[in-house]
Amino acid sequence: MFMNEPTASPRSSGKKIPWQQQGSTPDYRFSLANERTFLAWIRTALAFLAGAIAIDQFAPTLAPPVVRSGIAAFLALAAALLAWMAYRRWADNERAMRTGQALPYTRLLIVIASSVSAISVALALVILLL
């Protein structure tokens, strides 16, 4: 799983984050897989943000302005939280791989599932009741 290389690579530049100096450099395939997962979470956050903008700007007759703004704000805040948690997950996984520990459990999945469920219920109620 780990390559026998020094922690600093020739292409790295600038100051390293302290945890990047711990342990040994993981096999690049695992680091790239971790990065792809991070980018998938970022795409999901961007989809939430796009949904917020679409509801706020392109669905003026969907619901009263206060309801529409509330749903859009919730989606935008969920997108921000998701992006932040995606970075935390990437860093925690990278740290675990460097030190040879098990990958940590994430609560990110429950955040996404809860957000999607809440927005789905809210939109269903708006569509049915208004």
Question: How many folded domains does the chain comprise?
Answer: 1
User: Is the residue at 52 inside a domain?
Assistant: yes
Residue-level pLDDT at 12 = 56
Q: Which domain holds residue 64?
A: 25-129
User: Is the residue at 17 inside a domain?
Assistant: no
Residue-level pLDDT at 13 = 60
Residue-level pLDDT at 78 = 92
User: Is the residue at 6 inside a domain?
Assistant: no
Q: Which residues of the chain have pLDDT under 50?
A: 1-2, 4, 6, 8-10
Residue-level pLDDT at 11 = 53
User: Is the residue at 65 inside a domain?
Assistant: yes
* DSSP code, position 1: -
Residue-level pLDDT at 17 = 77
Q: How far apart are alpha carbons 13 and 42 in whole angstroms?
A: 25
User: Is the residue at 123 inside a domain?
Assistant: yes
User: Is the residue at 112 inside a domain?
Assistant: yes
Single pTM value for the model: 0.77
Q: Are 46 and 76 in contact (CB under 8 A)?
A: no
